[in-house]
Amino acid sequence: MAIESDSAGVRFPPPFVYLGTLLLGLAAERFLTLRSFGIDWRLLAATGALLSVAGMAMMLAAAGLFRLLGTSIPPSRSTTFIATTGPYRWTRNPMYLGMALIYAGLAIGFDGPIAFALLPLVLIVIQTQVIAREERYLEAKFGDDYRRYKAGVRRWL
């Protein structure tokens, strides 16, 4: 992944962190004792589908807004505009929140308690290695405009 000099400097695609950890957790289910939530599969499937659809809707809305504003989505590329409308009115990170909802939905839907238990680790990595870099970059680039936005909108929810 090529990293532009005017960017947050994130060196890996964040979706790979979510996907890689999810797959690792689901694979671990085959080798460890705790292999089920112990809940009816229909409830797991419905809950998983609901979370996944909500996550996809949030991600698509955020990505669509970025495209409409003419700014780039990957954190390895330059940002030209601060999005403050749409899902960005409620969370500064709707794409990462959407990915977390999809992750949780898939872990629950596939009856993967180990994968689900790894989600906090994923969120810590995203928070420290991606969001923190993005926030430093946006604050340096947009100054008080970003600081005002940051003061009024929560990082996650």
Could you read off the pLDDT of 50-77 as tens digits, one per residue? 999 999 999 999 999 999 999 999 998 9
Window from 9-13, 16-20, 92-96, 140-144 with minimum mean pLDDT = 9-13
pLDDT (0 to 100) of residue 43: 97
pLDDT per residue as tens digits for the range 29-44: 888 876 789 999 999 9
3-state helix, strand, coil in the chain (%, to 5): 65, 0, 35
At position 86, the amino acid (one-letter code) is G
At position 149, the amino acid (one-letter code) is Y
pLDDT (0 to 100) of residue 149: 97
Q: What percent of the chain has pLDDT over 90?
A: 84
pLDDT per residue as tens digits for the range 92-134: 999 999 999 999 999 999 999 999 999 999 999 999 999 999 9
Neighbours of 97 (CB within 10 A): 23
Element of type H or E holding 14? helix 14-28
At position 39, the amino acid (one-letter code) is I
* Distance of alpha carbon 57 from alpha carbon 26, whole angstroms: 24
Q: Which residues of 108-132 are buried (b: 16+ CB within 10 A; e: fewer)?
A: bbbbbbbbbebbeebbebbeeebbe
pLDDT (0 to 100) of residue 1: 59
Half-sphere exposure of 75 (CA within 13 A, CB side): 22
